[in-house]
Amino acid sequence: MTVDLELPGPPAATRVVVAMSGGVDSSVVAGLLARGGYDVVGVTLQLYDHGAATARKGACCAGQDIHDARRVAETLGIPHYVLDYESRFREAVIDPFAQSYLDGETPIPCVACNQTVKFVDLLDTAKQLGAAALATGHYIESRALPGGGRGLFRPADADRDQSYFLYGTTPEQLALLRFPLGRLPKAEVREIARELGLIVADKPDSQDICFVPNGRYADVIEKLKPGASEPGPIVHLDGRVLGSHEGVLRYTVGQRRGLALSVGEPLYVVRIDAAAKTLVVGPREALETRVVRVRDVNWLGDGAFGDLPAEGLAARARVRSTRPAAPARIRALGPREAEVELLAGESGVAPGQACVFYDDATGDRVLGGGIIRAPERVHAPALSASEAAR
């Protein structure tokens, strides 16, 4: 297989920096580009203290993974550098992640990492190294648009689609980013790794939250924010106090398990009042959402975001990484604020998650997205005293 990065000039005269995490995907990207004759430079970021993750399967950007990336680079005969971004990663990703949970949100650190460390800081490093492009192992596709510029599209392998986590990529970044795996299925990527003789061919995929050992994110937050796991009441929508919880950071909207309530009916978290340290619970129908407000919008569609029609733009929207994009209508409320009408409704929409927009025609092109601010539910619970005062 050959890779065309759609860059001017011959491959031998074109330097490309590859973000190498130590996994099979980014290693194959480096291998394909090296085999295609490009001047490839591998860069691995050390993002966090890897003491707890050195031998943990599914980690990335630390410990064994850095070692694996170095060995892959040696096999391919390309230069490889490890950059210490620990302080930057903590400032831009880990600290906001912890604070978001304390604010009653359910954050997505991978989005923050892509928007800051990877596609800002690392992209700047690539430019300093004289690279014409930064290539990554993400499963997404970048294509030239008829009117100029590049667009972001869902990959061929729908099971590996990472568009939900990459909606924040800006048009300026897309001009320099390349995603060579966009048209490949995962099985073929592993086969290419074997053909290239890479030690990571059968390495397990990394987990989403790379800096959380054993998946216990609450332990990480407690370490960063002592006292974060303060208990509080669990209150029914009708005002009844049903019990107590172990800290709002341990819960998300739509959650049922872990409430430890015996009230004769299934109850779900419908709202988190972080200021009052209160979980508000109710029946499943109380989770239904028709309209969400979205902040920090990144727009990748045609024209300016502020020029969307007053009646809204027909599109598809995705409110969780595990859910399909569904019919929606997007209305611009400001330069980076949107109101998204979910035409079929959604259940358990959580503040802090992303709402990602796709085109209405095929659902393949990513039009952008933002962070869910305040969902309006069909059965909206009454505001608490602390919320009413805001």
Q: Where is the binding site for ATP, in residues?
A: 19-26, 45, 137
Catalytic entry in 60, 61, 110, 113: 113
Show the beta-strand stretches assigned E in 115-217: 133-135, 141-144, 150-153, 177-178
Give the C-alpha distances (Å, rounded to integers) separating 102 from 98, 227, 237, 385. 7, 11, 22, 18
DSSP-H helix ranges across 202-361: 217-224
210 labelled catalytic: yes
Largest CA distance in the chain: 70
As given in the structure block, the two tokens for residue 196 are 């290239």
113 labelled catalytic: yes
What's the DSSP call for residue 121?
A: I
Look-up of token digits 């989770």 = 287
Considering just the CA atoms, what is the radius of gyration of the chain in Å? Answer: 22
Catalytic entry in 60, 61, 110, 210: 210
Rounded distance between C-alpha atoms, residue 379 and residue 270, angstroms? 10
Look-up of token digits 């995907």 = 25
Look-up of token digits 């739509």 = 254
H helices, E strands: number in the chain = 10, 18
Rounded distance between C-alpha atoms, residue 48 and residue 62, angstroms? 7
Query: What are all long-range contacts of 182-185, with beta carbons under 8 Å and residues at least 24 apart?
Result: 182/139, 182/140, 182/141, 182/142, 182/153, 182/155, 182/156, 183/141, 183/155, 183/156, 184/1, 184/156, 184/157, 185/156, 185/157, 185/160
Give the C-alpha distances (Å, rounded to integers) separating 381 from 204, 210, 235, 378. 43, 35, 11, 9
Catalytic residues: 113, 210
